[in-house]
Amino acid sequence: MTTPAPARLIDFLGAFATGGLLTLMIWFNGTLAGYGTVLFASWVPHLTGTILAIVVLLFLRPPKASTQSPPWWAYLGGISGAVTVVLTSASMQSPLAVSGTIALGLTGQMIFSLAADKWGLLGLPQRDPTLRDGLALALILAGSVILIFFGGVA
Amino acid sequence: MIGFAAIAILGGVLVSLSRQINGRLSLSLSALHASYWNHLIGLIAVTAFGVVFGGLLTGDPWGAPWWAYLGGPIGFVFIAASSWAITRIGAAQTALLIIAGQMIFGVIVDVALGTSGNTVARIVGVALILAGMVIARATPQKGVDKAVGSD
């Protein structure tokens, strides 16, 4: 297995811009859910995303990073994403509403990703989270909660 | 209520779990392959759920504005980019930057659309997030010398 390159500013800004894509996705898919069901609003982007993916793979033919086959479970990330839709739509209809669901979901993401780094879960590189990582996470979580509950972002 | 809170937290955990698994696939194949498999397997799972429990086509599913159907191509780029990022900057940094981007672009969209919201809260929220990003960026990279095997 190849050793990943150290983090560069481009990686950092790229990940930030990726979050902006998520804003668009939630906006588009949320609009769909207003006409059909939450399930439909997940089904359509999975379908159109798969179609685009096939086209991209056929045209770009990206090389495989390793000659070793990935473990079988590495193909199953999509199941986890699909179950998320079901869970969050149930939670959104509870007293937690959209804002509570998003705030708690962010908390769940933080907890899992810190654990994933600490123990190198599922075959990704192990990294010890630093105190600064924890502080950065706490600030971003605090800012997010303020935006979700008072700033209209939900 | 506690039960729903647990469900909401689990939803977030599954988002990160999915990103971790896709990141592992991108180490063997590529970030584009990882996004392809994520969408294909997710499509099968959502379709199966709809067939078993129903509710896939109730309501007025084809009545939405045309652009609302374009979340998929964005999602393809999103999954590829996050699979790429997680192998380079780690799960925690990827999560915090994606959340920061999601929130700050969310404020921009809200302001652009004239969505109601407290201006002071928006300024404080964005400032806290930007401060968190500066601190994250200042974190010395500890290297990835302990890369682990496939399983």
Q: Is residue B148 part of a domain?
A: no
Q: B114 touching A, CB under 8 A?
A: no
Separation in Å, CA of A99 to nearest CA in chain B: 11
Q: Which residue of B has its CA nearest to A31?
A: B68
Cα A37 to Cα A8, A24, B41, B46, B59, distances in angstroms: 41, 19, 20, 12, 7
CA distances (Å), A116 to each of A72, A84, A121, A127, B48, in order? 19, 18, 5, 9, 29
**Contact (CB<8Å) A45/B124:** no
d(Cα B151, Cα B142) in Å, to the nearest integer? 23
Q: Which amino acid is at B16?
A: S
* Reported confidence tier of residue A43, pLDDT bands at 50, 70, 90: very high
pLDDT at A6: 52
Q: Do B132 and A138 touch (CB under 8 A)?
A: yes
Out of A31, A35, A106, the one facing B59 most closely (by C-beta) is: A35
Q: Are B37 and B21 in contact (CB under 8 A)?
A: no
Would you say residue A7 has pLDDT above 70?
Answer: no
- The set of residues, in sequence order, having a beta carbon less than 8 Å from that of B105 and lying 6+ positions away, is A19, A20, A23, A24
Q: Would you call A98 an interface residue with chain B, using a CB distance cutoff of 8 Å?
A: no
**Is A32 part of any domain?**
yes
Does residue B113 sit at the A interface (CB-CB below 8 Å)?
no
Write down the pLDDT at residue A57.
94
Whether B55 is covered by a domain: the verdict is yes
Say which residues have a Cβ less than 8 Å from residue B89's Cβ, sequence separation at least 6: A7, A11, A12, A15, B97
Residue B119 lies in a domain: yes
DSSP letter assigned to residue B71:
H
d(Cα B135, Cα B100) in Å, to the nearest integer? 13
Residue A3 has pLDDT above 80, yes or no: no
Tell if the CB–CB gap between A48 and B133 is shorter than 8 Å.
Answer: no
Tens-digit pLDDT profile for residues B97-145: 999 998 898 888 888 888 788 888 889 999 999 999 888 887 455 544 4
Is the pLDDT reported for residue B53 higher than 80? yes
Contact indicator for B80, B31 with CB cutoff of 8 Å: yes
Closest by CA to A87, choosing from B102, B5, B32, is B5
Q: Which residues of B touch A101 (CB under 8 A)?
A: 8, 11
Helices (H) and strands (E) in chain B, counts: 5, 0
Tell me the per-residue pLDDT of B29-45, one tens digit each, with 9 for 90 and over.
999 999 999 999 999 99
Distance between CA B120 and CA B78 in Å, rounded? 30
Across the range B17-31, mean pLDDT stands at: 95
The more confident residue out of B55 and B73 is B73
Query: Which of A42, A138, A22 lies closest to B102, judged by CA?
Result: A22
Residues spanned by the domain of B40: 2-138
- Does the CB of A1 have a partner CB in chain B at under 8 Å? yes
**What's the confidence (pLDDT) of residue B144?**
45
Report the C-alpha gap between B93 and B133 in whole angstroms.
Answer: 9
Any domain includes A103: yes
Instruction: Judge contact between B81 and A21, C-beta under 8 A.
Output: yes
pLDDT above 70 (res B96): yes
Q: Mind telling me how many Å the CA of A122 is from chain B's nearest CA?
A: 7
Contact B10 A108 (CB under 8 A): yes
CB B54, CB A36: distance < 8 Å: no
Flag whether pLDDT at A153 surpasses 70: no
Q: How many Cβ atoms sit within 10 Å of the Cβ of residue A35?
A: 16
How confident is the model over B56-95, as pLDDT tens digits?
888 888 988 899 898 899 999 999 999 999 999 899 989 9
Same domain, A101 and A150: yes
B22 found inside a domain: yes
* Cβ atoms within 10 Å of A49's Cβ, excluding its own: 28
Q: Does B66 touch chain A (CB under 8 A)?
A: no
Q: A101 and A50 in one domain?
A: no
Q: For the ranges A34-48, A78-92, A117-131, which has the lowest average pLDDT?
A: A78-92
Residue A86, domain member (yes or no): no
Q: How far is B90 from chain A (nearest CA, A)?
A: 6
Total count of domains within chain A: 2
Reported as a single tens digit per residue, the pLDDT across A80-98 is 988 888 788 778 777 777 7
Residue A106 contacts residue A96 (beta carbons within 8 Å):
no
Other C-beta atoms within 10 Å of A66: how many? 13
Mean pLDDT of chain A: 85
Task: Quote the domain boundaries for residue A153.
Answer: 97-154
Percent of chain A past pLDDT 70, that is, above it, reads: 94
In a domain, A85, yes or no: no
| Residue position matching structure tokens 């500066």 | B134
Q: Does B146 reside within a domain?
A: no
Q: What would the mean pLDDT of A24-35 be, rounded to a whole number?
A: 84
Q: Considering only alpha carbons, which residue of chain B is nearest residue A82?
A: B42
B2 near A CB under 8 A: no
Q: Is residue B12 part of a domain?
A: yes
* CA pair distance A139, B113, nearest whole angstrom: 27
Under 8 Å CB pairs connecting chains A and B tally to 500
In a domain, A118, yes or no: yes
